[in-house]
A and B are shown apart, each in its own frame.
Chain A
Amino acid sequence: DTEVTQTPKHLVMGMTNKKSLKCEQHMGHRAMYWYKQKAKKPPELMFVYSYEKLSINESVPSRFSPECPNSSLLNLHLHALQPEDSALYLCACSQRAVGDTGELFFGEGSRLTVL
């Protein structure tokens, strides 16, 4: 079983809706990530949180708003999305320790469809 849990697994929303994707990890890791993955494409980094602070924002449109309430939780708030935002959204975490490889541990993803 994965130690990174994402909810919901599937989400369908209209362009005027506001929804959130949630991610929880119980690995004690202090870096958390959001990736976006379109079909048959590699994951693309969106955001990185390190020690609950946003450390990387890959020029993501403001209709995506990340939040890291504590070291175990990562949210992605969605508002006024476009159909092209339909994708698999992957959450991941990694350690922040000396000598750490930087391996990412992924959740199973939230499959988003924007109508």
Chain B
Amino acid sequence: AQKITQTQPGMFVQEKEAVTLDCTYDTSDPSYGLFWYKQPSSGEMIFLIYQGSYDQQNATEGRYSLNFQKARKSANLVISASQLGDSAMYFCAMREGQGGGNKLTFGTGTQLKVEL
């Protein structure tokens, strides 16, 4: 079974609009972490935002926010005020267990295109 599911292979959004990228996950581990990474065409994976399974509040980082619905096992990324530079592939990822040195499993990604 897929541990991380991203159901939107591609998304379009107009500049200055908000966009939501979907991510659902599956784990029986009570301690886990959820990440969103951006990958422009250059290839580098850029960390955007993190949500821990025990965090009470939704994570926010500038224009990025994570809509964490634990009971539904979803961790959607919201990008507000889209910019042309936001055009990239976006990956949702999950770490099971505590801390670093553990496996990070990635979803299949969503290709976002921001249009004028």
A residues in contact (CB < 8 Å) with B: 2, 29-31, 40-45, 48, 50, 55-56, 88, 90, 92, 94-109, 111
Q: Quick one: closest A residue to B97, CB to CB?
A: A102
**Minimum distance in angstroms from B25 CB to a CB of chain A:** 14
Interface residues of A, dominant DSSP: loop
In the assembled complex, B99 has its CB within 8 A of some CB on chain A: yes
Q: Which residues of B contact A103 (CB under 8 A)?
A: 35, 47, 50, 100
B residues within 8 Å of A by Cβ? 33, 35, 37, 42-47, 50, 52, 91, 95, 98-109
Closest to A95 in B: B100
Whether B91 contacts A45 by the Cβ 8 Å rule is no
Residues of A within 8 A of B37 (CB): 106
* Residue in A94, A102, A107, A109 whose Cβ sees the most chain B Cβ within 10 Å: A102
Distance of A96 Cα from B100 Cα, bound (Å): 5
Are A42 and B109 interface neighbours, CB within 8 A?
A: yes
Partner among B44, B98, B100, B107 whose Cβ is within 8 Å of the Cβ of A94: B100
Interface hub of A95, A96, A103 (most chain B Cβ within 10 A):
A103
**Is A96 in contact with B103, judged by CB distance below 8 angstroms?**
no
Q: How far is the CB of B63 from chain A (nearest CB, A)?
A: 19
A to B contact number (C-beta, < 8 Å): 78
Assembly CA distance A43 to B4 (angstroms): 13
How many whole Å from A111's CB to the nearest CB in chain B? 7
For B101, give its contact among A43, A48, A105, A107 (CB under 8 Å). Answer: A48
**Residues of chain A with a CB closer than 8 A to B99's CB:** 95-102
CB distance from B53 to the nearest CB of A (A): 11
* A99 vs B31: C-alpha distance when bound (angstroms): 12
Q: Which of B42, B44, B45, B106 has most chain A Cβ within 10 Å? A: B45
Partner of A106, one of B44, B50, B52, B107: B44
A residues in contact with B100, CB < 8 Å: 29-31, 94-97, 100-103
Given A30, A48, A105, which contacts B47 in the complex, CB threshold below 8 Å? A105
**Which 7 pairs from chain A and chain B are nearest by CB?**
A94-B100, A42-B106, A106-B45, A31-B101, A50-B101, A102-B95, A100-B99
